[in-house]
Amino acid sequence: MTGSEASPSFRLAYVPGVTPTKWVRIWNERLPDIPLTLVQVPAADAFDVLRSGEADAGFVRLPVDRTDLAAIPLYTETTVVVIPKDHLVAAVDEISAEDLADEIVLHPLDDTLDWERPPGLPAFERPATTADAIELVAAGVGLLVVPQSLARLHHRKDLTYRPVSDTPESRVALSWPQDATTDMVEDFIGIVRGRTVNSSRGRRPAAAPEQSPKTKRAEAGGARRKPAAGASAGKAGGRSAGAGRRRRSGGPQGGKSGRSGKPRRRS
């Protein structure tokens, strides 16, 4: 590397609500020589950031256009409704979308949930951002339905939230450009998938070179023709043992002939 070349670095984008702390910590432990730079982006801009090369990979919200982007789904978030602490809904543990039918429900322009039809009554005007909608909830203008991570991100002491059933759920995924799956991207995929440091840091192992059919037949034939050293020794030992048994078997016959030479009794 020449002095004019920049040091390698890994740029990781993430949308609001996602907390990449755990994966960043593992990266820094395993690859201390390659700095990881975090790039926070609005959910609506995340895919353009990846396509333009401003980030190597990113935590995004599904769906992902698989035409040019790859994605690994990671987890699904609980959907909640953000309410003032003194609201009637705060008295229950969970509600359904139907329970919001008579409530004004804010629908910000950066909403991350894929609604067919948002619940409740529409507000007079749509807030520009989720942060703006949170301010309106605090002012008593309406309620807000969001993924739980966004409710936590915009936490206020005067607000709380409750799970809502029968609503779309937000799914978080790791995504990157399909034509830019670099070694560093493979390293980060391995970390996200929970692979250990001994599993090639997430990279695909190199395939062993394929042997030609001629080489395989030659090796197999050589193994059949060459006898094992132990087997030859065993055969030789077996012949020696057999010869010894045959020699020992002649001993008793010689004894009989010796007994036939005893002196005769005198008459």
Q: Pull the structure tokens for residue 40.
A: 């926070």
Residue 49 lies in a domain: yes
Q: Could you report the per-residue pLDDT of 47-57, keeping only the tens digit for each?
A: 999 999 999 99
Q: Pull the structure tokens for residue 70.
A: 């790859």
29 and 140 co-located in one domain: no
**Whole-number pLDDT of residue 222:** 56
45 and 100 co-located in one domain: no
Residue bearing the bigger pLDDT, 32 or 201: 32
Indicate which CATH number applies to the domain containing 144: 3.40.190.10
Residue 250 has pLDDT above 60, yes or no: no
What's the chain's average pLDDT? 82
183 and 66 co-located in one domain: yes
Residue 70: give the domain boundaries. Answer: 10-76+171-202
Q: Report the SS3 class of residue 158.
A: coil
> Which of 165, 183, 213 finishes a domain?
165
156 and 32 co-located in one domain: no
Q: Where are the alpha helices (DSSP H) in 104-181?
A: 130-138, 148-153
**At CA 156, angle to CA 155 and CA 157, rounded to 5?**
130
Q: Could you report the per-residue pLDDT of 209-218, keeping only the tens digit for each?
A: 455 555 556 5
Residue 242 lies in a domain: no
Question: Strands across the sheet with 143-147, in order?
Answer: 95-96, 159-165, 79-84, 143-147, 104-106, 121-122
| Number of structural domains found in the chain | 2
Residue 63 lies in a domain: yes
Q: Pull the structure tokens for residue 24.
A: 């960043």
**Whole-number pLDDT of residue 187:** 96
102 and 157 co-located in one domain: yes
Q: Report the SS3 class of residue 259.
A: helix
Residue 239 lies in a domain: no
Residue burial 240-250, b: 16+ Cβ < 10 Å; e: rest: eeeeeeeeeee
Kindly report whether the global pTM for this prediction surpasses the value 0.75. no
Residue 88 lies in a domain: yes
Q: Are 60 and 172 in contact (CB under 8 A)?
A: yes
How large is the average pLDDT for residues 111-130? 93
Handedness of CA 208, 209, 214, 219 (dihedral sign): negative
Quick one: CA torsion of 258, 261, 266, 267, rounded to 10 degrees? 120
84 and 156 co-located in one domain: yes
> Which of 116, 147, 165 finishes a domain?
165
151 and 175 co-located in one domain: no
